[in-house]
A and B are shown apart, each in its own frame.
Chain A
Amino acid sequence: MNTPKPSMSLTKPEAFDLTTKQRIYVAIGMIGLIILALATFNVTFPYRTIVLTIALLSISIGIVLFANDLYIKKLPGIKNDGVMFKSISSRGLWAWISGLAFTGFYILLYFKASWLGLGTDGAENTGLVALFDPLSQFLNGGQASQWFVYGTLYTIAILVFGYKFLLKYRHNKYERLRTFSVMFFQLAFAFLIPEFMARLNSDSFSLPYYDLKNIWPLNYYNFEQYRVNSFIEAGDIGLALLIFGILSIFVITPILTFKYGKRWYCSWVCGCGGLAETAGDSFRHLSDKRQFAWKIERWVVHSVVVFVVLMTTAVVYSYLGDDSSKYWLTKRTFLIGVATLLTVVFAWVMIFKREQLAKDAQYGAVGYFVIILVLLGIHFFNGSNLFLFKAETLRQSYGFLIGAIFSGVIGTGFYPIFGNRVWCRFGCPMAAILGFQQRLFSRFRITTNGGQCISCGNCSTYCEMGIDVRAYAQKGENIVRSSCVGCGICSAVCPRGVLRLENDSMKGRINANEILLGNDVDLMDLVNEK
């Protein structure tokens, strides 16, 4: 483990302590957090609209002023001074405190919403959730839920820390555009549009809450029976949304990944990526760079993909019928379709892309055969049960283990301990599938600039996905790696101009070099071409 050390000397370098002004700004932000905390402990506030506004504004203003103080007076350029010394970003006391606080919040959010004040069985909200009722009424016409609270705080976190990130990287246009993108997609697609859509719901017309950019398998519940039924009952608009959901998986996503790499999603669109790149920027260097971590990564993330494929298949299978005269899509037809699709993908990869996957081929084979065996099992058991489990139980297990624990509690709560992309790296099935596409047929790569690498390691240190970028750069090799989310920070922090994110020709995309440019031409020919 690359353990950040608070200091290499006995005395901590106080050069990186907060200034008085900065402490004041932190205190302003704390006012907002304290109000929210008090609300959580059921302190009842009068004038909730005003109190909520004060809380959210305090947090926002505190962060904005802090960022201004930190960056505006300095010249544009890379600003990572003290990252390895400051408590919050080097697993110090403040990191643990905030990590535990985030984790606690997520646990309440997913499992004890009533403790946050969610009213059940028609009862009025209390506590923290009640504090957000005025805003919820304003946006969607109804009472707040714990998810509304979460959505609001999440969106504010992305917007405000996005401002901080924009200041930090104001010299870098790629980073600025990317940040504006995630801020926009979170505010519009993940927050406002779904809330406005909810306002359209009535007794005769109803649509499920739908963040359009949340695509299966990340949106693992999109094909639940209740949702599919709702879409269909909503008429043309619902059917259009359902079709859009399917096209997103099989058409839109592969095309965009071919053109731009998976970064179009993970660093420009996705909510998890948005939070990671804004509020999580302070923790990107905490990702585990060891080869050991990478081995865990491939097993865990691919297992999650298998899990979500099987879970979704089982869920859809459970509500389809057997009678083709009622509806063309039957249980058997669906299973055959899924098995055929997987077989086609697997065969195509094995026949045409084996050399690009190299050792990953065996992982793919394992995953493929597990899925096929389970599909056969589903067929033979011929019911809503799957190896003694009900399909809904399987979905609930996935929702609990992956959707809640992995994605929320660990993935975000542990930012200050494990880094900002633990979920994206180890658990997100969407990232895994996009990564698969990226490795196999994407034009995206990070190009290495000849022989210019000095092996300093800034790129690896600041890679939030834990890729050992330096290992490629010091060999003059392009980086075409499944897990790369194209955040561009390796290129930004490189002091020698070695790395560039590009969409380029497929030819020569994956290149291996032993002798770098700049050495004897004869030696390069001898060794590199073999």
Chain B
Amino acid sequence: MEHIVIIGNGISGVTLARHIRKLSSQPDGQAGKKITLVSAETEYFFSRTALMYIYMGHMTFEHTQPYENWFWEKNRIELKKGYVKKVETQSKTLHFAEGDTLQYDTLVIATGSKPNKFGWPGQDLEGVMGMYHKQDLDNLEKHAPNNKVCKRAVIVGGGLIGIELAEMLNSRNIPVTFLVREASFWNGVLPEGESQMINRHIKNHHIDLRLSTNLKEIKSDENGTVKSIIIEETGEEILCDVVGLTAGVTPNIDFLKDSEIETGRGVKVNRFLETNIPDVYAIGDCAEQQEPSGNRRPVEAVWYTGRMMGEVLAQTICGNKMPYNPGHWFNSAKFMDIEYQTYGWVFGEKGRPDYEQHFHWKHSDDTKCITVAYHKDTNVFLGINTFGIRLKHETFDKWLTEKRDVDYVISNLKDANFDPEFYARFEDEILAAYKRQSLLVE
């Protein structure tokens, strides 16, 4: 019986396990393959994207688990709690910190990410944490249970995790100072108009947003706990009890340093998600693709891509070798009360191709806007960002496949609306604004 070991029980690893089980079930019901899921973080799979809601009191930890605990035994997916210290590819053996070992026939590395640390003085003090793992959540609960124990928190890093952490702390009325390196929030990804709107929304939630601001140092009290931070640009000292380091994530692969598996930023894989060692694969946040698709980055630390890689690799492992060949890019997020969805490609100022033109519309209430990207020569629709208005994934996927032009997309925008019933519609307003812009351009 082939033994498949998956290191990491996040979305990538679990999706892979589920699909292998489904694809390899024999007619008589006996398992065709043995599957073991290894994790040092938690015993059961949980949705990392929901960690914030535990702290906010919207959910309990159990609610974040997509599968009840009986699911694993019923589907014959073995769960092993343990930290992998060493991977020996010659003998196909995993060595655990606890001293035991595990043999595998096929190994899949799905160990996800870890928060970035850039060598700031004080970054390892008590009260300093990322917000990625379950342990980070436990740590935050300890240091920031309310606004008396934690009189102020500082968040370093203006990305998606940073703003989620701000929202978390805000729910307990803990004052937040938010240090963002960029001149506008997430403007490396978002066009300027959108980024500015989010800046205002953050401030409307009474968060102390500091743009173009970097961390110089974290200062300690006599007990080795955070006392304050120092801002690089001004030298200003800000007293605080918690520092959240949310300046991006990086593949979590330190345990592979002494193995023969080739790594760069992540585990290097080809289009079939194969590493340099036969029978060793890598998927999800920790995989570094040597040949990324289209505009995609080598490391795709996104829930959706992690799931997709698991779906594809299951085919390969079960005898139908397939490359990872994702369709049109899509992503989503929520900036406090404003939802964000993107389909296709819409670049921020930095890195925007010469051929990319934008049409931007914003509602007067400053919580909704749309940016449509199109090719300036051919008018082909390239992508759309939407804030505060829900749009239909299927429709945009189809329009991108059909290479529709921007006129068509904006004229038919109501076909793509996904807002709840009775919500106000803005398609006519958007179309009118688009026509006005077209007149100006001509």
Name A's B-contacting residues (CB within 8 A). Answer: 2-5, 7-9, 11-16, 75-78, 80-86, 171-174, 177, 289-291, 449-452, 454-458, 460-461, 470-471, 474, 488, 491-493, 495-497, 500-502, 514-523, 526-527
> What residues of A have a CB within 8 angstroms of the CB of B172 in the complex?
13, 15-16, 81
Complex CA distance for A177 and B148, rounded to whole angstroms: 40
Query: Does B58 contact A519, Cβ atoms closer than 8 Å?
Result: no
Q: Which of B164-215 contact A (CB under 8 A)?
A: 171-174, 204-205
Q: Which residue of A lies closest to B66 (CB)?
A: A455
Query: Does B334 contact A522, Cβ atoms closer than 8 Å?
Result: no
> What residues of B have a CB within 8 angstroms of the CB of A80 in the complex?
56-58
Q: Is the interface of A mostly helix, strand, loop or mixed?
A: loop
Query: Does A452 contact B423, Cβ atoms closer than 8 Å?
Result: no
Query: Does B56 contact A451, Cβ atoms closer than 8 Å?
Result: no
Complex CA distance for A499 and B59, rounded to whole angstroms: 19
Complex CA distance for A514 and B47, rounded to whole angstroms: 19
13 more A-B contacts (CB under 8 A) besides A3-B60, A84-B54, A496-B334? A2-B63, A13-B145, A15-B172, A82-B56, A451-B307, A454-B332, A457-B47, A500-B418, A520-B323, A520-B324, A520-B325, A522-B325, A523-B322
Query: Does A457 contact B307, Cβ atoms closer than 8 Å?
Result: no
> What residues of B have a CB within 8 angstroms of the CB of A488 in the complex?
420
Query: Does A174 contact B328, Cβ atoms closer than 8 Å?
Result: no
Show 26 residue pairs from A and B whose CB-CB distance is below 8 angstroms, ordered by the A residue. A2-B60, A3-B60, A12-B145, A13-B141, A15-B146, A16-B172, A75-B336, A84-B60, A173-B420, A450-B330, A451-B330, A452-B330, A454-B49, A455-B66, A456-B64, A458-B59, A474-B66, A496-B332, A497-B418, A500-B420, A516-B311, A517-B327, A517-B393, A520-B327, A523-B311, A523-B325
Q: Which residue of B lies closest to A2 (CB)?
A: B62
Query: Does A519 contact B327, Cβ atoms closer than 8 Å?
Result: yes
Q: Which of B134-159 contact A (CB under 8 A)?
A: 138, 141-142, 145-148
Q: Which residue of A lies closest to B45 (CB)?
A: A455
Query: Does A457 contact B63, Cβ atoms closer than 8 Å?
Result: yes
Q: Which of B329-344 contact A (CB under 8 A)?
A: 330, 332-334, 336-337, 339, 341
Taking residues whose C-beta sits less than 8 angstroms from the other chain, chain B's interface range is: 35 or more
Using an 8 Å CB-CB cutoff, how does the interface string of B342-381 with A read, 1 for contact, 0 for none? 0000000000000000000000000000000000000000
**B315: CB under 8 A from chain A?**
yes
Contact among B22, B50, B337, B420 with A174 in the assembled complex (CB-CB below 8 Å): B420
Q: A290-B68, A461-B59 are in contact. Are A518 and B304 (CB under 8 A)?
A: yes
Query: Does B315 contact A14, Cβ atoms closer than 8 Å?
Result: no
> What residues of B have a CB within 8 angstroms of the CB of A77 in the complex?
336-337
Query: Does B311 contact A515, Cβ atoms closer than 8 Å?
Result: yes
Contact among B50, B53, B328, B422 with A173 in the assembled complex (CB-CB below 8 Å): B422
Query: Does B393 contact A177, Cβ atoms closer than 8 Å?
Result: no
**B426: CB under 8 A from chain A?**
no
Q: 3 tightest CB-CB pairs across the interface, nearest first?
A: A450-B393, A77-B337, A15-B172
> What residues of B have a CB within 8 angstroms of the CB of A526 in the complex?
315, 320
**B440: CB under 8 A from chain A?**
no
**B72: CB under 8 A from chain A?**
no
Q: A174-B423, A501-B420, A501-B421 are in contact. Are A4 and B337 (CB under 8 A)?
A: no
Q: Which of B14-38 contact A (CB under 8 A)?
A: 19, 22
**B1: CB under 8 A from chain A?**
no
With both chains docked as a complex, state the minimum distance between the C-beta of B323 and any C-beta of chain A, in angstroms.
8
Q: Which residue of A lies closest to B59 (CB)?
A: A461
Q: A452-B341, A497-B339, A518-B308 are in contact. Are A75 and B205 (CB under 8 A)?
A: yes
Q: A15-B173, A177-B422 are in contact. Are A9 and B141 (CB under 8 A)?
A: yes
Q: Which residue of A lies closest to B173 (CB)?
A: A15
Complex CA distance for A214 and B94, rounded to whole angstroms: 65
> What residues of B have a CB within 8 angstroms of the CB of A516 in the complex?
307-308, 311
Query: Does B330 contact A518, Cβ atoms closer than 8 Å?
Result: yes
Name B's A-contacting residues (CB within 8 A). Answer: 11, 19, 22, 47, 49-50, 53-54, 56-66, 68, 138, 141-142, 145-148, 171-174, 204-205, 303-304, 307-308, 311-312, 315, 320, 322-328, 330, 332-334, 336-337, 339, 341, 390-394, 397, 401, 418-424
Q: Which residue of B lies closest to A84 (CB)?
A: B57
Q: A2-B62, A77-B337, A291-B68 are in contact. Are A11 and B145 (CB under 8 A)?
A: yes
Contact among B56, B61, B303, B339 with A8 in the assembled complex (CB-CB below 8 Å): B61
> What residues of A have a CB within 8 angstroms of the CB of B19 in the complex?
514
> What residues of B have a CB within 8 angstroms of the CB of A492 in the complex?
420
Complex CA distance for A375 and B53, rounded to whole angstroms: 53
Query: Does B327 contact A500, Cβ atoms closer than 8 Å?
Result: no
> What residues of B have a CB within 8 angstroms of the CB of A452 in the complex?
304, 330, 332, 341, 393
Query: Does A457 contact B64, Cβ atoms closer than 8 Å?
Result: yes
Query: Does A518 contact B327, Cβ atoms closer than 8 Å?
Result: yes
> What residues of A have a CB within 8 angstroms of the CB of B56 in the complex?
80-82
> What residues of B have a CB within 8 angstroms of the CB of A450 in the complex?
330, 392-394, 397
Query: Does B57 contact A455, Cβ atoms closer than 8 Å?
Result: no
Complex CA distance for A291 and B74, rounded to whole angstroms: 13
Q: A3-B60, A14-B148 are in contact. Are A518 and B337 (CB under 8 A)?
A: no
Query: Does B11 contact A455, Cβ atoms closer than 8 Å?
Result: yes
With both chains docked as a complex, state the minimum distance between the C-beta of A121 and any C-beta of chain B, in angstroms.
53
Query: Does A15 contact B174, Cβ atoms closer than 8 Å?
Result: yes
Complex CA distance for A175 and B301, rounded to whole angstroms: 35
With both chains docked as a complex, state the minimum distance between the C-beta of A468 and any C-beta of chain B, in angstroms.
9
> What residues of A have a CB within 8 angstroms of the CB of B326 in the complex?
518-520
Complex CA distance for A267 and B11, rounded to whole angstroms: 35
Query: Does A15 contact B147, Cβ atoms closer than 8 Å?
Result: yes
Query: Does A81 contact B57, Cβ atoms closer than 8 Å?
Result: yes
Q: A9-B141, A520-B312, A520-B324 are in contact. Are A458 and B341 (CB under 8 A)?
A: no
With both chains docked as a complex, state the minimum distance between the C-beta of A2 and any C-beta of chain B, in angstroms.
5
> What residues of B have a CB within 8 angstroms of the CB of A290 in the complex?
68
Q: A9-B145, A496-B339 are in contact. Are A83 and B58 (CB under 8 A)?
A: yes
Q: A290-B68, A471-B66 are in contact. Are A495 and B334 (CB under 8 A)?
A: yes
Q: A75-B337, A80-B57, A523-B315 are in contact. Are A518 and B420 (CB under 8 A)?
A: no
Query: Does B322 contact A82, Cβ atoms closer than 8 Å?
Result: no
Contact among A8, A9, A517 with B394 in the assembled complex (CB-CB below 8 Å): A517
Q: A177-B422, A517-B394, A520-B326 are in contact. Are A497 and B332 (CB under 8 A)?
A: yes
> What residues of B have a CB within 8 angstroms of the CB of A13 in the complex?
57, 141, 145-146, 172
Q: Which residue of B lies closest to A454 (CB)?
A: B49
Query: Does A83 contact B66, Cβ atoms closer than 8 Å?
Result: no
Q: A3-B62, A15-B145, A497-B418 are in contact. Are A519 and B312 (CB under 8 A)?
A: yes
Complex CA distance for A407 and B60, rounded to whole angstroms: 29
Complex CA distance for A518 and B296, rounded to whole angstroms: 13
> What residues of A have a CB within 8 angstroms of the CB of B60 in the complex?
2-5, 84
Complex CA distance for A14 and B307, rounded to whole angstroms: 38
> What residues of A have a CB within 8 angstroms of the CB of B391 in the complex?
497
Complex CA distance for A3 and B63, rounded to whole angstroms: 9
> What residues of A have a CB within 8 angstroms of the CB of B63 in the complex?
2, 289, 457, 460-461
Complex CA distance for A288 and B31, rounded to whole angstroms: 31
Q: Which residue of A lies closest to B147 (CB)?
A: A15
Complex CA distance for A516 and B304, rounded to whole angstroms: 9
Complex CA distance for A451 and B330, rounded to whole angstroms: 9
Q: A13-B172, A174-B421 are in contact. Are A454 and B303 (CB under 8 A)?
A: yes
> What residues of A have a CB within 8 angstroms of the CB of B393 in the complex?
449-452, 517-518
With both chains docked as a complex, state the minimum distance between the C-beta of B146 and any C-beta of chain A, in angstroms.
4
Q: Which residue of B lies closest to A291 (CB)?
A: B68
Q: Which residue of B lies closest to A8 (CB)?
A: B141
> What residues of B have a CB within 8 angstroms of the CB of A4 in the complex?
60
> What residues of A have a CB within 8 angstroms of the CB of B65 in the complex?
457
